[in-house]
């Protein structure tokens, strides 16, 4: 019989209870993500068109969209430093409350500068597939509930929900815009943003129902403790509990090898995001409206179609990632999508532009679930919140200038923002492959190496073996099969 130090007794059927709890938490996170994606898809269509209808100059539109991006960066700073201290659930729910207040401001303000000010809260997004503070918290929470292939597939479903919810939001916005935003009355059109308020409140309700397993340090509650008697459970898919020395207020990972990897990834993600910032979705809506005279309803239908294509692509991406490796999937699906993006600059009409955007959508989001799984697999559990925040922050630090430059670039050549975006993002893909194709994921290490505590990969490491879990190889970072023990692989010969 265990002594007091062993902890409270486990509930009957403890393993099943923990599994059910984790499954319930994953569903709540997916529900919150779906509601927010619905709101962001709706907002991405209406915001750009509404700013155009208000008669703002291209520079003023750029300033508002840059404030949205800058707000996401500020939000990532806050959650990266405080989410594990104040509690992931508490910060998550607070974010939804602020989103509701931001929606009210969008609906009621007759001026553009309060919209820019409220955008700095970090709760708005000019994209459906955002990488802001909500996403950073959700990534860390999802990573606490699963590992390996289950984690990769979980991120695939997570992003598919985002794409599907965003496409539905765009479709709803098309119907709303055909009636409201086509009107010459500014206030009647802006009132359509009140649709975001109930979505934000429902998202907050989902966050409030999450269990302590999503925190860095879940706390047992009452006799129905989630830990079994005996030693405290370690991290893993059956417990959802992350091991750590304690919550910290720092933004960067503590260990030097992990910090090096995170900083290099962050620098590259910042370059990729800088390219994306020229063509944020709200800008695309603005550009289609001004360049081809596309109606709000037509833009909403197009974004709905793009969302459906993205939904299917992120689900396929997880299977490709398992077969060819996370890094290979990230690079070699993203690169051709950027060529389609650059080609939009030369589209002579709306039909061809829409076709190129659809072709791009089929590939452009395949790197998202694989990238998220890749980052979470590279770092130890106690650094996941900071890694998600820092890599997400890097994507937003470089983005505020993009919409402003895009507005100015149109004065040189109307399609120049798309050409610049495709070129910069293609360069990111090539450098990412060059830097990281020989950096192993922890699962790629040999069984002997995996038995030792490894703080994180370094750039001096090379794949030493083919670690397996459950008799099946884990997804590799490079796409090549892990080398047998004692073989450094082609790079070492």
Mean pLDDT of 193-204: 90
Tens-place pLDDT, residues 216-254 = 764 444 443 333 333 333 444 433 334 444 445 566 665
CB 226 within 8 A of CB 220: yes
Fold of 16-217+251-436: Growth Hormone; Chain: A; (1.20.1250)
Could you give the 3-state DSSP secondary structure of residue 268? Answer: helix
* Residue 479 pLDDT exceeds 70: no
Mean pLDDT of 313-330: 87
The DSSP element (H or E) to which 171 belongs, if any, is helix 148-179
- State the helix-helix crossing angle for 326-343 and 350-364, rounded to 10 degrees: 170
Strand partners, 469: 472
Read off the pLDDT band of 442 (50, 70, 90). low
User: Please, which residues have CB within 8 angstroms of residue 262's CB and are 6 or more apart in sequence?
Assistant: 252, 253, 375, 378, 379, 383, 386, 387, 390, 391
DSSP labels, 305-320: HHHHHHHHHHHHHHHH
Q: Where are the domains of the chain?
A: 16-217+251-436
Which pLDDT belongs to residue 356? Answer: 94
Mean pLDDT of 432-442: 82
Kindly state the greatest CA–CA separation across the chain. 78
Read off the pLDDT band of 431 (50, 70, 90). very high
Mean pLDDT of 1-7: 40
According to the 3-state scheme, what is the secondary structure of 425-444?
HHHHHHHHHHHHCCCCCHHH
Which pLDDT belongs to residue 375? Answer: 86
What is the DSSP secondary structure assignment for residue 490, as one 8-state letter?
Answer: G
Instruction: Cite the DSSP H helix spans in 293-383.
Output: 296-324, 326-343, 350-364, 367-378
Could you give the 3-state DSSP secondary structure of residue 97? Answer: helix
Helices and strands (H and E) in the chain: how many: 18, 2
Ranges assigned E (strand) in 209-326: none
Which pLDDT belongs to residue 210? Answer: 92
User: Residue 217's CB: how many other CB atoms inside 10 A?
Assistant: 14
Which pLDDT belongs to residue 251? Answer: 62
CB 36 within 8 A of CB 260: no
Which pLDDT belongs to residue 209? Answer: 93
Which pLDDT belongs to residue 473? Answer: 45
* Residue 7 pLDDT exceeds 70: no
Question: Is the pTM of the predicted complex or chain greater than 0.75?
Answer: no
């Amino acid at each position: 019989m265990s002594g007091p130090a062993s902890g409270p007794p486990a509930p009957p059927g403890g393993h099943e209870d923990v599994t059910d709890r984790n499954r319930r938490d994953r569903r709540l996170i997916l529900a919150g993500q779906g509601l927010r994606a619905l709101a962001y898809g709706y907002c991405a269509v209406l915001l750009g068109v509404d700013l155009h209808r208000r008669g703002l100059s291209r520079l003023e539109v750029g300033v508002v969209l840059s404030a949205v991006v800058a707000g996401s960066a500020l939000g990532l700073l806050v959650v990266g430093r405080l989410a594990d201290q104040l509690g992931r659930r508490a910060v998550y729910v607070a974010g939804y409350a602020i989103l509701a207040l931001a929606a009210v401001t969008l609906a009621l303000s007759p001026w553009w500068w309060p919209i820019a000010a409220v955008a700095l809260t970090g709760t708005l997004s000019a994209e459906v597939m955002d990488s802001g503070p909500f996403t950073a918290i959700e990534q860390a929470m999802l990573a606490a509930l699963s590992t390996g292939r289950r984690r990769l597939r979980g991120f695939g479903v997570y992003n598919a929900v985002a794409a599907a919810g965003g496409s539905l939001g765009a479709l709803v916005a098309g119907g709303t815009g055909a009636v409201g935003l086509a009107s010459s009355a500014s206030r009647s059109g802006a009132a359509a943003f009140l649709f975001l308020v109930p979505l934000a409140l429902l998202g907050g309700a989902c966050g409030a129902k999450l269990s302590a397993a999503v925190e860095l340090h879940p706390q047992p509650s009452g006799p129905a403790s989630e830990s079994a008697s005996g030693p405290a459970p370690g991290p893993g898919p059956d417990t959802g509990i992350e091991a750590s020395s304690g919550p910290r207020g720092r933004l960067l990972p503590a260990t030097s090898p992990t910090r090096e990897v995170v900083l290099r990834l962050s620098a590259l993600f910042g370059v990729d995001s800088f390219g994306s910032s020229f063509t944020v979705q709200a800008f695309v809506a603005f550009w289609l409206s001004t360049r081809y005279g596309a109606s709000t309803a037509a833009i909403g239908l197009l974004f709905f179609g793009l969302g459906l294509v993205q939904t299917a692509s992120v689900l396929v991406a997880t299977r490709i990632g398992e077969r060819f490796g996370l890094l290979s999937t990230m690079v070699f699906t993203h690169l051709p999508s950027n060529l389609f993006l650059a080609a939009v600059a030369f589209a002579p009409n709306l039909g061809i532009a829409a076709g190129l955007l659809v072709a791009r959508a089929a590939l452009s989001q395949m790197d998202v679930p694989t990238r998220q799984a890749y980052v979470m697999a590279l770092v130890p559990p106690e650094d996941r919140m900071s890694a998600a925040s820092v890599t997400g922050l890097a994507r937003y630090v470089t983005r505020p200038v993009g919409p402003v430059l895009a507005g100015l670039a149109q004065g040189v050549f109307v399609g120049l923002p798309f050409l610049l975006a495709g070129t910069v993002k293609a360069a990111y893909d090539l450098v990412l492959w060059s830097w990281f194709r020989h950096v192993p994921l922890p699962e790629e290490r040999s069984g002997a190496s995996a038995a030792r505590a490894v703080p994180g990969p370094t750039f001096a490491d090379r794949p030493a073996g083919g670690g397996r879990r459950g008799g099946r190889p884990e997804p590799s970072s490079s796409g090549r099969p892990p080398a047998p023990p004692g073989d450094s692989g082609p790079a070492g010969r």
